[in-house]
Chains A and B, each alone.
Chain A
Amino acid sequence: MTRAWIAFFARLAFVTFGVVTLVFYLQRLIPGSPADAVLGPDALQSDKLRWLAANGLDKPIFEQYIDYITKLFQGDLGRKLVDGRPIAPLLVERFFATLKLASCSFVFSLLLALLLGIYGAIRAGSRVDKFLSVLSLLMISAPTFITGTLFLWIFAVWLDIFPLTGGNGLSSLILPTVTLGSALAALTSRMLRGSLLEVFHEDYIRTAFSKGLSKYQVYTRHALRNAVLPALTILGLQLSSLLGGSVITEQVFTWPGLGSLMIEAVNQRDYNLVSACVVVLAFVHVCLAAVIDVVQQLFDPRVGVE
């Protein structure tokens, strides 16, 4: 157990450190200076230089890097370059918005996938199954900025039953959830259907039936438990990428999440903000990966710790 913890922390340290370094240098390669973005194109050159100096951006890059790392190590995410406000509260707020959307879409997709996947597997080869599989392929293949925009026009403007933008409580959550969730559900349901079909041919299912268990018990307790395993990895990846902020969906629905924050930060050359976002998300990513490993073990004792 201790070894597992050590491995986890080593991984955490490595990934966070690596990501910081990469993003730190990559950003400084982007043409355009934050001074232009903050002070405006018509500000005096001397003021731009003064501003850069005031923010420590006139030092050699390596020195800036050391400064940044030192601060980060002390748990200080720094301040936004654009307006000098502390980053941490902003990040927490945006992360919650993203978390809300991510968890809703995830649960929605999971439930939808279970329903469609199990149906498809049990009625495999039927007309409905074929229809569902074509539908799910279509859903995988449609870009979210098109489905999202369509949903927006149909449900928010034309039918006027949902709000147009995010941040308006529960009802504003539904359209982005459905947009994101249905694309994910399509993928998961296909995986699930496939693995369920394989499981159905196993001996223990036949045994379970012959014990006189009901269909529901057999499918849910026995088949699903085993079939879910291969889907778990996919689900983990999906959750992780959802938490990273679904840039496009957030833009379409004006959702105040991390994805749109990062785009804004990149465009304004707010080095500190971009770095902070990426570091925090990398941190979350590694933790999530560890959790998924554990969950996988719970489902399948055969998977051991490497």
Chain B
Amino acid sequence: MNPLLKKILARVLKENSTRLSLIILVFWAIIACLPALFPELKEISIDLPQTRRPPVFSWHEPLGWFGYDSVGSSVLLQMIGGARVSLLVGISVVMVSALVGSTLGAAAGYWGGWVDQCVSRVMELLLAFPPLVLPIALAAVLGGGVFNTIAALCLGGWIGSAKVVRGQFRSLRNREFVIAAKALGASETRIIIYHLLPMTLSPLLIHTIFSLAGTILAEAGLSFLGLGLGDGSVSWGTLLNEARSYLLESPHLAIFPAAAILSLVVSLNFIGESLRQVLDKRAASVELD
């Protein structure tokens, strides 16, 4: 393992809160992978007589641990499936955004000029839309479904990463090591990929972790407005939205998805925060000296 990485990891893991967060994250990641390993988990049966039955704590009925929802499906199974969908949506959006955003941001920051103008103007345009309007409109155009929700959230998602990368590139492009590399005849692609990109990785990583938290919340928000997944797939957001009607009578429907979202988002925020504390000093020093 890279010694630098090791050092960073050790620093990050020094705090209990971060360690706990990481455990939670790994936990949800494992849960999300379960349906792929055990296809039985995908078979969520609908059993009306179980409608909104509260949790039962019995070893004989593991499906009932979290109770049953408004068509008598096991909340536990749906939570597992929901973990998959929520994480899938979140991670895909963040990955695509980071990829697209950093490419455009890098181009804009490195070359400046008309490339920068183009990218910046597009970002300005998208930012001028009232929040959620673009995802709502796009969700209406495309219809529901996991893929379309991802597309709708990506539309605005890439801007953040683009801004981060563009800023870094702008401050780095005239630094000595870049000029030296140029003088040595390195191609522009080489400079971008081998010299500049590594320097932007840490701020990009921090941004990505925070925006993963934001995306999971945004997906839940879209579901709340009824514009999320319409194809029958279940995410924590859809579960939570459905539970809103039964907050008083059947709180078990809301508690578990709410706790799941909260735990995931909070731990992402904790990890992002401590990464920032460790990495940002380096990033900042690169920027200032």
**Which chain B residues border A14 with CB–CB below 8 Å?**
121, 124-125
A56 within 8 A of B: no
> Would you list which residues of chain B between 237 and 261 have a CB under 8 Å from chain A?
237, 240-241, 244, 247-248, 254, 258, 261
In the docked arrangement, what's the CA distance between A251 and B127, Å? 23
**Which chain B residues border A29 with CB–CB below 8 Å?**
141
> Would you list which residues of chain B between 197 and 235 have a CB under 8 Å from chain A?
213, 217, 220-221, 224-225
| Cβ proximity bits A221-256 to B, threshold 8 Å, 1 near / 0 not | 000000000000000000001001101100100000
Say yes or no: B127 contacts A26, CB within 8 Å. Answer: no
Say yes or no: B221 contacts A143, CB within 8 Å. Answer: yes
A142 within 8 A of B: yes
In the docked arrangement, what's the CA distance between A22 and B261, Å? 33
Say yes or no: A143 contacts B128, CB within 8 Å. Answer: no
In the docked arrangement, what's the CA distance between A103 and B262, Å? 28
A61 within 8 A of B: no
**Which chain B residues border A263 with CB–CB below 8 Å?**
136, 225
**Which chain B residues border A27 with CB–CB below 8 Å?**
137
| Cβ proximity bits A45-71 to B, threshold 8 Å, 1 near / 0 not | 000000000000000000000000000
Name the contact of B266 in the complex, choosing from A11, A138, A241, A277 (C-beta under 8 A).
A138
B288 within 8 A of A: no
Say yes or no: A278 contacts B221, CB within 8 Å. Answer: no
In the docked arrangement, what's the CA distance between A221 and B220, Å? 42
**Which chain A residues border B141 with CB–CB below 8 Å?**
26, 29-31
Say yes or no: A247 contacts B124, CB within 8 Å. Answer: no
Indicate whether A140 sits within 8 Å of B131 (C-beta atoms), given known contacts A145-B244, A248-B221: no
Say yes or no: B125 contacts A22, CB within 8 Å. Answer: yes
B183 within 8 A of A: no
- Name B's interface SS: helix
In the docked arrangement, what's the CA distance between A271 and B125, Å? 19
A174 within 8 A of B: no
Question: In the assembled complex, how far is the CB of residue B285 from the closest CB belonging to chain A, in whole angstroms?
Answer: 13
B74 within 8 A of A: no
Question: In the assembled complex, how far is the CB of residue B169 from the closest CB belonging to chain A, in whole angstroms?
Answer: 17
Tally of B interface residues using CB under 8 Å: 38
Say yes or no: B266 contacts A141, CB within 8 Å. Answer: yes
| Cβ proximity bits B103-139 to A, threshold 8 Å, 1 near / 0 not | 0000000000000000001001101111111001110
Say yes or no: B129 contacts A137, CB within 8 Å. Answer: no
Question: In the assembled complex, how far is the CB of residue A95 from the closest CB belonging to chain B, in whole angstroms?
Answer: 11
**Which chain B residues border A149 with CB–CB below 8 Å?**
244, 247
Indicate whether A11 sits within 8 Å of B124 (C-beta atoms), given known contacts A30-B140, A141-B217, A143-B217: yes
> Would you list which residues of chain A between 87 and 117 have a CB under 8 Å from chain B?
none
**Which chain A residues border B158 with CB–CB below 8 Å?**
none
**Which chain A residues border B217 with CB–CB below 8 Å?**
141, 143
**Which chain A residues border B136 with CB–CB below 8 Å?**
247, 262-263, 266
Say yes or no: B221 contacts A145, CB within 8 Å. Answer: yes
| Cβ proximity bits A1-40 to B, threshold 8 Å, 1 near / 0 not | 0000000000100110011001100110111000000000
A81 within 8 A of B: no
Say yes or no: B130 contacts A146, CB within 8 Å. Answer: no
Question: In the assembled complex, how far is the CB of residue A305 from the closest CB belonging to chain B, in whole angstroms?
Answer: 16
**Which chain B residues border A247 with CB–CB below 8 Å?**
131-132, 136, 225
**Which chain A residues border B129 with CB–CB below 8 Å?**
19, 23, 244, 278, 281-282
> Would you list which residues of chain A between 108 and 166 have a CB under 8 Å from chain B?
134, 137-138, 140-146, 149-150, 153
Say yes or no: A140 contacts B269, CB within 8 Å. Answer: yes
Say yes or no: B269 contacts A19, CB within 8 Å. Answer: no
**Which chain A residues border B237 with CB–CB below 8 Å?**
143
Question: In the assembled complex, how far is the CB of residue A238 from the closest CB belonging to chain B, in whole angstroms?
Answer: 10
Nearest residue (CB) in B for A262 is: B133
Name the contact of B125 in the complex, choosing from A15, A26, A31 (C-beta under 8 A).
A15
**Which chain A residues border B213 with CB–CB below 8 Å?**
141
B265 within 8 A of A: yes
A176 within 8 A of B: no
Say yes or no: A245 contacts B140, CB within 8 Å. Answer: no
B66 within 8 A of A: no
Q: A residues bordering B, Cβ < 8 Å?
A: 11, 14-15, 18-19, 22-23, 26-27, 29-31, 134, 137-138, 140-146, 149-150, 153, 241, 244-245, 247-248, 251, 258-259, 262-263, 266, 274, 277-278, 281-282, 285-286
17 further interface pairs, Cβ-Cβ under 8 Å (given A145-B224, A247-B225) = A15-B125, A19-B125, A26-B138, A27-B137, A141-B262, A142-B262, A144-B221, A146-B240, A241-B131, A244-B129, A258-B130, A259-B130, A278-B129, A281-B129, A281-B130, A282-B129, A285-B128
Instruction: Name the 9 nearest CB pairs between A and B, nearest first.
Output: A244-B130, A141-B265, A282-B128, A18-B125, A241-B131, A145-B224, A29-B141, A30-B140, A281-B130
